Amino acid sequence: MANLCVLILCGLAFQVVHTTGQRQAELPTIDAELPLRLGDEKKAPRTWPNAKVPYKISSAVVDTDKIRLIDRVIRDIEDNTCIRFTNRRFEDEYMNIQTDRMACSAQVGVQTGINQLNLADSCWNYPTIAHMVLHVLGLYHENNRADRDDYVEINAENLRGLNARKFEKIPANQFPVLDTPYDLNSITHFPNKIYGIKQSGSRDWTIQAKRNPSQQLGGNRITANDYRKLKKLYRCQ
């Protein structure tokens, strides 16, 4: 089965709110049934052969500002890793970036056939696009690492039903952390109040840092540690 971020971890749509340059919160606008349980997948996500990612931007994406955002994410990854993105010509496996009415979703790692990256209107910003592209490249959410309990605390009482599943840990054999330190600022890290039942008041958070509970988690840029993971994953020299 495919490592579907939309089904396992990502939910569907995020509305990303920025405050003082920090990704303050991602509020789900829609959710879905989760037909797969974490643990069904026995292997780590598959990487793109030779670190080359054929991609296509849907013809429905005509806004030049949106295309520039995609180009900026791609350029930043290429400038900091050995990964290269190429315009899809005839490849059977490729990343297809398209608009979606409600969903912000991506598959984790390369899949057979078309690898869809869906972006709803609220998802057209640099942090969310970069977050999703890193999923396509093979990275799960940082906070799903097997060692995350050493660094963050989960407020289970502020989570309900299927949303709680998105906070489950992924076994180390399925989530290669590549000898990198836990990164509270990773662009793939959940922010503090994501998926919370309560969005204000006492204990309105769903995840917080153990050492400094007031620290805002996640970020609006790809961190040096994110790049380090990609370089190790793709064996960049």
State the Cα–Cα distance between residues 52 and 231, nearest whole angstrom.
Answer: 13
Give yes or no for a contact between 44 and 191, defined as CB atoms under 8 angstroms apart. Answer: no
Residue 66 parent element (H or E): helix 64-80
Do residues 94 and 114 touch, judged by C-beta distance below 8 A?
Answer: yes
Q: Known binder of ligand: residue 135?
A: yes
CA angle 166, 171, 177 (to 5 degrees): 95
Q: 216: helix, coil or strand?
A: coil
Q: Is 106 helix (H, G, I), strand (E, B) or coil?
A: strand
Summarize the annotated binding site for Zn(2+) as residue ranges.
131, 135, 141
Annotated binding-site residue numbers? 131, 135, 141
